[in-house]
Structure 1
Amino acid sequence: MQYALLAYVPPEDTDRAARPIPAPLSALLDHAAVTGWARLYADESATTLRNHEGRTLLTDGPFIDSKEYLGGLILIEADNLDGALAIAGELLQQTRPGTIIEVRPIIEGRFGGA
């Protein structure tokens, strides 16, 4: 089963794009269970589109205000939630203090039933 590991980072962690991924974290991202990953720019780089009664509204910034922002996502393959949590725990140990990893199962199939 596939899981998404959503990595939330503190808002003061804004220099992420300029610095390389630490070697221990990079090695974990090469783990056989990791099927894809992406680092995201800080939340102020976001533009949010919202459907409001059939009209598209654009807003600068993230969808919600929060103390942390989504800094990246990692797609993994694991037999079950316990396996996904073990991989997430390994990754978390290589991140900066204040990082949060949310684990969510991915719904099989494509949007629209294709």
Structure 2
Amino acid sequence: MQYALLAYDPPEDTDRASRPIPDGLVDLLDGPKVSGWARLHAAGSATTLRNDSSGILLTDGPFIDSKEYLAGLILVEADNLDGALAAAEEMLREARCGTAIEVRPILDGRFRGA
């Protein structure tokens, strides 16, 4: 089964686009458990489209106002939730302090890494 690991960074982490990913984390991202990943720009670069009763509303910024922001996503293969949690914990140990990872099962999709 595929699981999405959604990585969140604290709001003060603004220089991430110019900062390299820690070597230990790169090794895990390039490992056999990960089938794709993407690093995202900071939340301020987001544009959100929302469908409501009056039509499509386009706004600058992320979908929600939050202190933490979605920084990236990682797609992993795991037999069950425990396996996905173990992969997330291993990555979190290599990530910067303040990072959080949310684990969600994938229903359907075609996302594949490069």
Fold shared, TM-score > 0.5 on shorter chain: yes
Do residues 75 (structure 1) and 101 (structure 2) align? no
Q: How many residues align?
A: 110
Identity %: 73
Q: Which residue of 1 is the match for residue 34 of structure 2?
A: 34
Do residues 94 (structure 1) and 94 (structure 2) align? yes
Q: Which residue of 1 is the match for residue 44 of structure 2?
A: 44
User: What amino acid does structure 2 have at the position aligned with 1:72?
Assistant: G
Q: Which residue of 1 is the match for residue 13 of structure 2?
A: 13
Secondary structure of the corresponding residue to residue 12 of structure 1:
coil
Of 80-89 and 49-58, more deviation after overlay is shown by: 49-58
Unpaired runs of 5+ in structure 1? none
Change (3 A) 1:15 1:78: same
1:41-93 deviation digits (Å, cap 9, x = unpaired): 00000000011215111111001111100000000000111111110000000
Structure 1: 4+ residue segments shifted above 2 A: none
Q: Following the alignment from structure 2 to structure 1, what is the Cα–Cα distance between the partners of residues 95 and 39?
A: 13
Tell me the TM-score normalised to structure 1 length. 0.92
Change (3 A) 1:109 1:91: closer
CA RMSD of aligned residues (A): 1.2
User: What amino acid does structure 2 have at the position aligned with 1:31?
Assistant: G
Secondary structure of the corresponding residue to residue 21 of structure 1:
coil
